[in-house]
Amino acid sequence: MKKYIVLYCLILINIYGVSQTKSLTDPLRFDHFYTYDQITEALKILNKKYPDLTKLVEVGKSDENRTIWAIEINNKKTGKAKDKPGVYCDGNIHGNEIQAGEVCLYLANYLLTNYDSNEKIKKIVNRNAFYIIPIVNVDGRYHFFNAPNTMHSSRSLRIPFDDDHDGLFDEDMPDDLDGDGNICQMRKKDPDGNFYADPNDNRILIPVKKGKKGEYKMLGWEGIDNDKDGRINEDTEGYLDPNRNWGYLWKPSYIQRGAGRYPFEGKGIKAISDYLLSKKNIIVVFALHNSGGMFLRGPGNEIDKELFREDILVYDILGKEAQKIVPGYRYMISWKDLYTTFGDFTDFTHNILGAYSIVTELTLSSEMNYGINKTSKANRNEIEYARLQFNDNLGHGALYKEWKPYNHPVYGKVEIGGWTKFSRRIPPQFMLQDVVHRNASAIIFAASQTPDVHLSVSEKTKISSNVTRLKIKIENKNGIPTMSQHSIARGLYHKDILKIDGQKTIAGGKVNNTYLNTADYKKFKPQIQFTHLKSYEIQEFIFLIEGSGTITINYNSVKAGQKSISVKI
Amino acid sequence: MFKKVFYFGILFLVTTNLTIAQGTKNYHSPKDILQIIKLKQKNNSKISKIHYLSKSYNKNDIYVFELGTQINQNKKTNPAIFVTANLQGNRHYTSEASLYLIEKIFTNKKMLDSLTYYIVPCANPDAADLYFQNPYYSSNTNATPVNDDLDEQTDEDGYEDLNKDGLITMMRVKNPEGKWVVSDKDKRLMKKANAEKGERGVYHIYTEGIDNDLDGQYNEDLLGGNTIYSNFPHRFEHFKRPNSLFPLSETETYSIVKFIYNHSDIIMTITFGETNFCKQIPKTAKKGKINYNKIKLSKEQAENIKQDPNKKYTYKELLDLVKNYFGNEEVHTRWGYSFKKYTQYLPDDEAVEFLNEDIDNYKFIKSEYEKYQKSKNINEKRIKPNQAKNGSFELWSYFQLGIHTYSLDFWSLPIQKNDTSNKKVEKKKIEEKSFEENYLAYIDKYKLKEKYIEWKPFKHNQLGNVEIGGFVVGYDLNPPYQMLDSVFEQKIPWVFQLISYIPTIKFLKYETKKLGTNIYRLQVWVSNNSPLPYPTTMGILNQTPPPIVVGFKDDIELIDGLKNTPIQYINGNSVQKINWIIKTKSNKEITLKLNSDNCGNDELKIKF
């Protein structure tokens, strides 16, 4: 059997022409990071293997014309995707935050590979439609792997920007002087320097106190003066932050760094926005980033101050559980517990799509040091020392470049060294399996809570020769409401519709006392009632129906899907 | 003459529906306008080009008509003017103004040697189309489907022309719960009954039509749509109908904004619409708590740059102070290192007020405009132009493009003479209060019978006995077509005068001074010969306008100064001086070049 799978993969690889990159094995592996091409290949493998459950969608192209892929997971036998609650998740919107892509891929892989064997997963997949975009910033991920970088660079969209206002664009980026694939730091021995080496560990530089002599000068990221203007690395990539370029409370870049010149300037951002706006059933959104170990809910900015009380309750259900699923991560309010940002993706999806939207900041820095946890009051040098020991004894030296001499055209004899691009924000490979499984599980938990509406007839009484009183019970058996309070208050879209078909409805309304049979009768069109169901809420509607025969009761919700039952009167 | 015959021809060809309502007579529909533009382009193919940007929901083309001698040049050296008309969708005379402007440009083609025009004759064709349909009414929203009443259907309850007069007007029906009565001022007007004055309501008022979806409401979910004029991303107002949900949601606005950012040769935008930045110094309607004209520093900030914490500064004053303190070179690099050095002194939200230094430019233009009007004997008493709205093109252009932003409204309702004899203080009140009265007076004066319909009984299927009449829904805010030529003849030449004030940057002179063997100081003066600065002060703040860069064409050894020196700002009728210390042999000749995308290019030969 295994042989066939390998053969099958080889055929696939030939079909899709990705032979330059290392071919993937099936099952997919989560003990190392996949490149952009490999993730594309992985999605194609999943799609080919699970044709009845998946659809591979080309959402659009990036600014450098790479394809942005979505994998949609839906069991057609249990209904169309648009008629089920939609769970959306994406990652790697910042090009350097690569493990976010792995979490998304893992989620898709886990749902599909466990569908047959795990009843709980099967139920979640059957009841929901999943929309997963593992890599939003495809150019950023591509360059992060294929070009020298720091752990922070290749973050933005590839839209050149003239940082130094000299008429040239992105012409003075950092340079990989020693050719090791990383942009590290430069330092120079200098008797007038303002740093000295820590006697404990000479890789750590400590600022000198006033009046004391130092031995080093820090010279910033590795680089030369490419445009010969007397400044080094002053016009680097971008900067357009794809997570500040969305159209809810967007503010220009003199207020919000990285906003872009206008909302949806990024070609891929525009494409994803169009894609999302066409999937009106999306009710849960997870956006994966690194780092910090957080589950963030909105508002993202101080202007909005706070969400509706009803919506906070829902976020609490998801966030508090997620905290337990991923130990150490904290559930927080974006602007209040971090800082205000404008034009965020999740502010857009909460406010414009009306979806419960959470940012996951993957990876705790305390996981990647040598024994200092996040609550300790260790100072910077102590933390740096603990990180270096982690590098020495768990990373075995792979995360940190030892300082080595280099002859710089401007600075003369310098040393190049420091943390590599795969350090600090990205977990070492041995930890990856834990990161992807726990964080995908937080999303699976949210999917298990999407609204699940049940209809039943609670009473059927003839009140005159030709008129039947029908009471319909509608119940949401899950924690997420059928509509957010924000969607209702702002009129984002119409409310859920409870509709009687088949016979003439002469009166109808929402029951306010089921024992007294009193209701708020709707004046016009009683056969159509508008409502929504909160967490675990039960409601009753009363209808007076003329005639006899079969009638159908339909519940039609933009986000909670469609349900219907029939009854004979 | 040619023009009239030509227009007539187009109309004859295109307008086959002869039952078209009176009010639209001679105005050009969006499709007519595109036909006209296509023909003009064909006849002037070497100096004009149509850029098709996108299609609206109703498949109308969104396009820019480019006029200039550099249409096929990738990198243009001429500055460009961007003109957009009829963003409202119901101000058809502004589209006509753009056609008139195009005609004038083609009759004096010489001006295209040094200037490019990008013109959008109709930015909201979906809305504009409604005016040319039978029946017609006036609307400012495009055709994007919107479920206005949030029920189970979308766009299901529109108007009906029940009395078949080709117009959508009003219906009134007697009802004990009615809130409206006939006005005592003019029996053609309706007003709300005032219970305090002992009045009792008689009528319900509806727009003409039936309750298509049987929900008890009339015409509450029309075809479309979202506004275009307020869909731009400066202080866009979310969740306020008929705004869409977010800025640039509409293909009309998104494609226009994208076009503008892809054309850095644009130095000025002129909007033909509801505002007039030449006549009325622009201001923002709502004051925010952030004011860039009165920035106050915290004690600590003031100490940092050795300034008075009790003083208030304009943005420009503060920038100059910070620059003096940290040095120019430090401040003008943006995000790299030191942009924060001065942004930390700025308010933490976007600018809301027009900046004082830019207001000075508007004052200058206003005084020129007044002189111009005097010279043309324009003395009009008309309703004031509107203030620019949040999310409007005009505000977006000023606050985010940072280039010169002007607008013209050309025409508005004349004010009834009798009423304005009152005290000046009350003048504003009158304008606001008596819009309908003014409207009636204007209708009477020009005998515009199709703009007010006498109430006539009608048997309504759902409401019983009603009367149909009153004003056209949305009001027809367009003057009689026949009036336009005289208006434009008077007012369009001002556009050319306005354009003549755009900044043009040139080298003025240079000096060299020998400091030692082969070491020279070089000083170069760059001058702006126009009364308007480059860029606006807002443009310095938002850093969007492309830089003016002075650079050496040749390889040269610099001891002090940059090979490419950005000039951040030159005031109107002013100079900027640039200094270098250079190592070079005597008698050597070098060339300096001045490059900018939108305000001039120049070269200067220097001999040491």
Q: How far apart are the first and last CA of chain B?
A: 60
Rounded CA-CA distance A135/A140 in Å is: 9
| Beta carbons of A163 and B334 less than 8 Å apart | yes
How high is the mean pLDDT of chain A? 93
For B422, phi then psi, to 5°, come to: -65, 175
**Tens of pLDDT, residues A57-73:** 999 999 999 999 999 99
Chain A nearest C-alpha distance from B193 (Å): 27
| Beta carbons of B261 and A166 less than 8 Å apart | no
What pLDDT is attached to residue A155? 95
Which among B542, B254, B266, B269 is positioned nearest to A259, based on CA atoms? Answer: B542
Structure tokens at B544: 């969007």
pLDDT beyond 50 at A20 = no
For B342, phi then psi, to 5°, come to: -110, -25
Rounded CA-CA distance B451/B468 in Å is: 14
State which amino acid sits at residue B348.
D
pLDDT beyond 70 at A511 = yes
Structure letter (DSSP) for residue A334: I
Of chain B residues 323-382, which have a CB less than 8 A from chain A? 332-337, 343, 346, 348-350
What pLDDT is attached to residue B26? 87
| Site from B246, B315, B544 to mutate, A interface, most A CB atoms within 10 angstroms | B246
Write the CB contacts of B266 (distance below 8 Å, at least 6 apart in sequence). Answer: B79, B80, B81, B82, B118, B260, B401, B403, B598
What pLDDT is attached to residue B536? 96
For strands A294-297 and A330-333, give the pairing: parallel
Structure tokens at A425: 């924000």
Of chain A residues 408-467, which have a CB less than 8 A from chain B? none
**Tens of pLDDT, residues A147-193:** 999 999 999 999 988 887 888 888 999 999 999 999 999 999 999 99
For B214, phi then psi, to 5°, come to: 55, 40
- How far CA A291 is from CA of A299, A374, B127, in Å, comes to 19, 14, 48
| Beta carbons of A499 and B566 less than 8 Å apart | no
Measured between CB atoms, does A255 come within 8 Å of chain B?
A: yes
| Beta carbons of A262 and B335 less than 8 Å apart | no
What pLDDT is attached to residue A11? 39
Percent of chain B having pLDDT more than 70?
89
On chain A, the residues whose CB falls within 8 A of the CB of B147 are 493-494
Burial class (CB in 10 A: 0-12, 13-18, 19+), A330: middle
Structure tokens at A369: 């040091």
| Beta carbons of B258 and A229 less than 8 Å apart | no
Do B72 and B161 touch, CB atoms closer than 8 A? no
On chain A, the residues whose CB falls within 8 A of the CB of B341 are none
Rounded CA-CA distance A220/A184 in Å is: 9
Chain B nearest C-alpha distance from A168 (Å): 10
Measured between CB atoms, does A278 come within 8 Å of chain B?
A: no
User: What is the three-class DSSP state of B100?
Assistant: helix
What pLDDT is attached to residue A558? 98
Write the CB contacts of B472 (distance below 8 Å, at least 6 apart in sequence). Answer: B23, B136, B137, B138, B167, B168, B169, B450, B451, B453
pLDDT beyond 90 at A238 = no
Measured between CB atoms, does B249 come within 8 Å of chain A?
A: yes
Measured between CB atoms, does A251 come within 8 Å of chain B?
A: yes
Inter-axis angle of helices A309-325 and A429-448, nearest 10: 140
**Tens of pLDDT, residues A493-509:** 999 999 999 999 999 99
| Beta carbons of B246 and A348 less than 8 Å apart | yes
Percent of chain A having pLDDT more than 70?
96
Instruction: ipTM value, please give it.
Output: 0.93
**Tens of pLDDT, residues B441-478:** 888 888 888 889 999 999 999 999 999 999 999 888 89
- How far CA B504 is from CA of A365, A470, B362, B527, in Å, comes to 54, 79, 18, 8
The pTM (predicted TM-score) of the whole model is: 0.93
pLDDT beyond 80 at A250 = yes
| Beta carbons of A264 and B254 less than 8 Å apart | yes
| Beta carbons of A167 and B595 less than 8 Å apart | yes
Structure tokens at B163: 């009395």
**Tens of pLDDT, residues B96-145:** 999 999 999 999 999 999 999 999 999 999 999 999 999 988 899 999 99
pLDDT class of B347 with cuts at 50, 70, 90: confident
Structure tokens at A158: 């590839």
**Tens of pLDDT, residues B53-90:** 999 999 999 999 999 999 999 889 999 999 999 999 99
- Average pLDDT in the A125-139 region? 98
Helix (H) or strand (E) holding A295: strand A294-297
